[in-house]
Amino acid sequence: MHFSRSAFISKSIIITVLLIAPFASGQEETAPAPVEETTSAEGAEEVPTEPEATEPEATAVEETPAPVEEEPPVVETPTEEDEKEETRIEEEEAAPEEEAVEEETVLGGINWGVWGRVDFAAGGQDSLDDFTSSGRFELHSSGSVHKYINFTANFIANYNPEIAGDAALLDGIVQFDFADAFHVWGGRMLVPVDRSNFSGPWFMTPWYYPGFGFADGQVAAPREGPAGRNDGATVWGSFAGGLIKYYAGAYDLFDGDQSPLYTGRLNLSFLNKESGYYSNSSYLGEDTLSIGIAGQYKGDGSVGTPVDPADPAPTDDYASFNADLLFEKKFGEAGVLNLEGAVYIFTGEYEPTEAAWFGVASYLIPVEVGIGKFQPVFRVQQAFASAEGADASTLIDSQLSYLIDGFAARLSLGYRYGFAGDLKTQSLYLGAQFMK
């Protein structure tokens, strides 16, 4: 029994080994399969269904980007930082250059401009048979030499009444601009006495400058100088962005034997704040309500005519007062109404004009016709002579302007008529203006 049991066990072991051997050899042949699957996309999709293969596949997915050297995170991060650093360095290096360029532009650049006016007129007392033409051209330049120091140098050329024409210095100003509230200007400049002088013929709706052209020859304008300029110094400033402006100056300093012409002005702008030294008689569409008052004084400035030419001319102190009002309103798409008025009072025993006034009304029609817009203009002026019993002198302008580019390009066609007692004057005129 013992032998047969041993034989049975031996046989059993042999049978068991024979049965296990195929499975053992099968595992050895299939073992490399997971390794091959980890290198293929198809294997990656099948692995999650077998728990035992999940960890090797996950390991393979996590380890796969690591050896890729084309897009290493560690390498990309420094590259972005390097780019940022390079950008920062470039900006720091460029900043001084930009500041230098800006400073050069502000301090070293010169602004240039050319303005011109040409007109043709047919005039006479009883008929329009006197034909004339006149022209005025200005070359403007300005710039900065320091943060607080600027300059203006303008030149003017005219023709008529001389065929040869003439040219001269119009403005020559050294400007110390310390703050909005405090400027000191010296040289040849516009006398800050009334709004008309600030705007000149360039920035007012009527073609002709007020105060001149009366039938009896009166001049109803404050003391100024050629083209409204004079030699002297002005202290001026503005507050609240131009709500309030003041001017105080002394002029006629080209002749030390004369007394200075002292001038002061105060201007209040309630709607459209007017900053800067100059101002317009129209802004062609900006709501404006502005009031200005001014005065002048010059010792021995009122000069008479001596009875005997060998005697010195008699003199008296000259003084004047004037006030002006500007109202402009834009009615949406309906157009722009402009109203302006001024009054003048002159004192001095030998002043030919005692008082004067003018009023202007214009309306800018919003409809564009061709390349521009039409603007009818109407102005009345009166001057009152100092001589007892003298007739008032009246001058009326009726005008139609065609604005192509505001005041920068306009045409004006008008008729003016003046009378003082039996004296008359009239003219039909056409003017063209450009500003570049």
Domain edges within the chain: 1-30, 118-435
Buried b (16+ CB within 10 A) or exposed e, 5-41: eeeeeeeeeeeeeeeeeeeeeeeeeeeeebeebbeee
pLDDT of 218 reads 95
Amino acid at 194: D
The helix/strand/coil state of 191 is coil
List the beta bridge partners of residue 426.
124, 417
Question: Of 275, 265, 264, which Cα lies nearest the Cα of 239?
Answer: 275
Q: What is the pLDDT along the chain (436 residues), one digit of tens a residue?
A: 444 444 444 444 444 444 444 444 444 444 444 434 333 334 333 334 444 444 444 444 444 455 545 555 544 555 666 665 666 666 555 554 444 444 444 456 899 999 999 999 999 888 898 999 999 999 999 999 999 999 999 999 999 877 888 999 999 999 999 999 999 999 999 999 999 999 999 999 999 999 999 999 999 999 999 999 999 999 999 999 999 999 999 999 999 999 999 999 999 999 989 999 999 999 999 999 999 999 999 999 999 999 888 899 999 999 999 999 999 999 999 999 999 999 999 999 999 999 999 999 999 999 999 999 999 999 999 999 999 989 999 999 999 999 999 999 999 999 999 999 999 999 999 999 999 9
CATH architecture for residues 118-435: Beta Barrel (2.40)
Buried b (16+ CB within 10 A) or exposed e, 110-137: eeeeebebebebebeeeeeeeeeeeebb
pLDDT of 163 reads 84
Question: Of 419, 365, 375, 364, which Cα lies nearest the Cα of 400?
Answer: 375
pLDDT of 36 reads 40
Q: Determine if residue 307 is left, alpha or beta; phi over 0 gives left, psi from -120 to 50 gives alpha, anything else beta.
A: alpha
pLDDT of 315 reads 94
pLDDT of 161 reads 73
pLDDT of 87 reads 62
Phi, psi of 106 (to 5 degrees): -70, -45
pLDDT of 183 reads 98
Phi, psi of 390 (to 5 degrees): -75, 145
Distance CA 9, CA 15 (A): 10
Distance CA 378, CA 323 (A): 20
Q: 271: exposed, middle or buried (C-beta count within 10 Å: 0-12, 13-18, 19+)?
A: middle
